[in-house]
A and B are shown apart, each in its own frame.
Chain A
């Protein structure tokens, strides 16, 4: 046995993954990242508005940690995105107001921006607003402009962070659900999972929506409850005439929470979310509703001078965001039980703050458990993105094909994704430690199936590549959580007769 601290991180969302990456910089830890889903980032980290918040919406006296870490996280993602080749842009955010009442409300955010040291935030009016956002709705009167507002590909960010963490020695275990934290003699001993017991000296709870259950099992914060808050979204095709150039946001008022209209880093128009508080038992209910989708469509029309037609919708989805009591993040390291750490109830702006939360947690661990952190000399900060054909000049595509003919076999027509990209994604998933190769996991890594046809053309082609690569029958390939088919027609006939 080494003298390293054995660390188990519960939950491979953006928070858990970022903590894994930051801890992997140090010699002191032997880290296992545990995720109950088949892939990383499938909880709140995946289904959100994909914004890197500037940090001017957090009240520093009510939520000091949120205010501090959001601003810092916004800064850190710039570096992380470069190191890890994560698609990100920083077009700035416009919180749009249409009347005096909203303007008054909007002005309060200017104050918060000062208090939080968010750079460059100011009020802009008509002409300047129209220069900054040519596609703004006619009724827009002005906006709070926050130049540091950004957009990120959230699912790719988590994938990239985990790939890099694994490269630096972290072990990922998917489809591993933590049933409880084992505590004895005032210390954590490990976690009980559906795949057996994992010994640990330090257990970090980054279980998002389920982080209340985990902390209860460790015997602390017994009154802490995380409620699901649902957000519904409409995602449109890339080929829409009027697209937002900035992060557009209606001003949150006491009545409405504010809806965003953005152009994602992949070029799609995304509008949403709703903000619907669900009962605590409804943690599995990410269903969409006609009412919710109609609402966000209606609200977004206050932002854009021309709304994309509903017929250009390529996907509707909903995400469940964890909502802790009072909106307070629970980030704490415990000396009783020694070795337990909460990074629990991380609600918005959790994605933006994740890298900063991770650093904060590393310091907490060092201080609380009296561990002198020692940096690895060979820590690798870099991760290369998958080599893609999309948006690549023809001459380069030709060169790629000369090296590997699989680049010349196009599988997804909408997004120009080749067989080589699918195979690279499969290899990476295996290398990362993902137990089951899912078609959904490949979609998020390669963009195959992201287009107007939503996989009607390519899903079976990709399934076939996976089936050949893994040597399993086509029907045995996993879509998201279940198999693509129930079996071979002939075999099923024999079974039915028998």
Chain B
């Protein structure tokens, strides 16, 4: 087994990982990017729809165009990368020494590194963890799997489709199925509001006359060999099906778009702390986890609505790696915890220094109109006409805002308050 040495190993060649590898290289770090597929790009490669890059490139691009631009830059900078490379395990030797064990078709490669940027993305939740019961027939796909089949391999999973969950991937797949001539019978959403971005509800469902059933759930999948139908019911305020409201929708295909969870298997074995709200790690403003020198970005950190955020986080983690290496650890001594106040479901990062500008990503628990998003300790207040769980709250806290904060204050609280 051969051993290589690097300043930073970026694990996962999607947008966050590519951006992290580019940034780390630009900052002068000896960098290698590890990807388990045979090509770089990650999930956007199979996204033929637009909506990518409005923030980062100030242009509306398809997923493929978006990653192509990133990859051009990566090639120009001659960033090193390994394809078909699976990170088997990580060994923590010392705060600035980690061993990344990589399985490749050429053999096992061991990489000694000072820092790790982990950008492996998220996994899709499946039928069983959301409690759908009934038969277990063929014809059930996750939205991502259906997308891979249609947009990478050009094959149609089925003809008559019911989509469970109105997350963005589900909405986009509803349109893809409709465009390819399938009949999309309905999109079923348990919440009283859609799970995806409003623009996707309009452009993917309304424009194609696809019914969106809010406040409904699939209680049962029925089918001997292949899916034959689903039984749908209205739900009460506790999301329990209301008896007597059941009806059936005949279909041959069920597509699941019931949310993503950060996929951190290898890091979990290393003992990182997980935030139950995000499903991702607890991080400071450099996106460093509780394990020194291990950073996480993109959907492995928190499920983002926009690829632009994943890229931004990748770059941020690279800057963190640079600071870590230069200072033999992140130099901050007094962290201020970011606490969740009224109507905040999740917030990242979990701790800030107040020593530099920092970006805050958050989601609300419930939709609300005419509100202030605020941090009382900093006197920070942002007006919004409406906040929705599907739309991430993004804002920057400038370093000078922290000057008002007393030295003894060790937490700030993010909250949403009606105007």
Contact = CB atoms under 8 A, between A and B. Distances in A.
A65 to B, nearest CB: 33
A493 B265 contact: no
Most buried by A among B89, B101, B131, B157: B131
Contact of B105 (A317, A394, A409, A490): A409
Contact of A316 (B110, B133, B139, B219): B133
Contacts of A401: 103-108
A486 B134 CA distance: 23
B1 A290 contact: no
Interface stretch (A15-23, A354-362, A473-481): A473-481
Given A456-B145, A460-B145, A409 B84 contact: yes
Interface in A293-349: 293, 310-317
B157 A482 contact: no
Interface residues of B, number: 52
Contacts, number: 148
Most buried by B among A405, A460, A474, A490: A460
B409 interface: no
B135 A408 contact: no
Most buried by B among A286, A456, A481, A484: A456
A398 B105 contact: no
B304 interface: no
A108 B268 CA distance: 46
A98 interface: no
Interface residues of A, number: 58
A456 B140 CA distance: 10
Contacts of B101: 394
Nearest to A493: B181
Nearest to A239: B268
Contact of A416 (B88, B123, B222): B88
Interface string B359-373: 000000000000000
Interface stretch (B60-68, B147-155, B307-315, B392-400): B147-155
A482 B226 contact: yes
A402 interface: yes
B88 A288 contact: no
Contacts of A493: 180-181
A316 B220 CA distance: 13
A398 B155 contact: no
B263 interface: yes
A315 B128 CA distance: 5
A128 B219 CA distance: 44
Given A486-B156, A486-B157, A397 B108 contact: yes
Interface in B358-407: none
B84 A457 contact: no
Interface string B112-135: 000000000001101111010111
A293 B220 CA distance: 13
A479 B36 CA distance: 24
B136 interface: yes
Nearest to A284: B224
A394 to B, nearest CB: 5
Nearest to B154: A489
B124 A453 contact: yes
Interface string B142-174: 101100111001111111000000000000000
A428 interface: no
Interface string B178-195: 001100000000000000
A104 interface: no
B84 A408 contact: yes
Nearest to A402: B107
B138 interface: yes
A300 B180 CA distance: 47
B234 interface: no
Most buried by A among B129, B136, B154, B155: B155
B103 A486 contact: no
A410 B103 contact: yes
Interface string A425-468: 00000000000000000000000000011101101100010000
Interface string B197-229: 000000000000000000000011010111000
A289 B220 CA distance: 8
Contact of B180 (A287, A312, A416, A492): A492
A316 B157 CA distance: 24
A266 B101 CA distance: 23
B86 interface: yes
A120 interface: no
A485 interface: yes
Given A314-B128, A457-B123, A492-B181, A480 B138 contact: yes
Nearest to B261: A452
B156 A489 contact: yes
Contacts of B108: 394-395, 397-398, 401
A405 B224 contact: no
A111 to B, nearest CB: 40
Nearest to B108: A398
Nearest to A476: B155
A489 B180 contact: yes
A398 B149 CA distance: 32
Contacts of B129: 311-314
A406 B149 contact: no
A389 B137 CA distance: 30
B123 A290 contact: no
A405 B131 contact: no
B128 A316 contact: yes
B180 A481 contact: no
Contact of B150 (A286, A456, A473, A489): A489
5 contacts: A394-B88, A394-B89, A408-B104, A474-B155, A490-B154
Given A394-B101, A481-B137, A484-B157, 12 more contacts: A288-B134, A395-B1, A397-B88, A401-B105, A401-B107, A413-B36, A413-B265, A453-B124, A474-B155, A482-B225, A492-B156, A493-B180
Interface of B: 1, 36, 84, 86, 88-89, 101, 103-108, 110, 123-124, 126-129, 131, 133-139, 142, 144-145, 148-150, 153-159, 180-181, 219-220, 222, 224-226, 263, 265, 268
Interface of A: 239, 284, 286-290, 293, 310-317, 389, 394-395, 397-398, 401-402, 405-406, 408-410, 413-414, 416, 418, 452-454, 456-457, 459-460, 464, 473-475, 479-490, 492-493, 496
* CB-based closest 8 A-B pairs: A410-B86, A408-B105, A405-B105, A485-B155, A398-B108, A481-B225, A288-B133, A475-B155
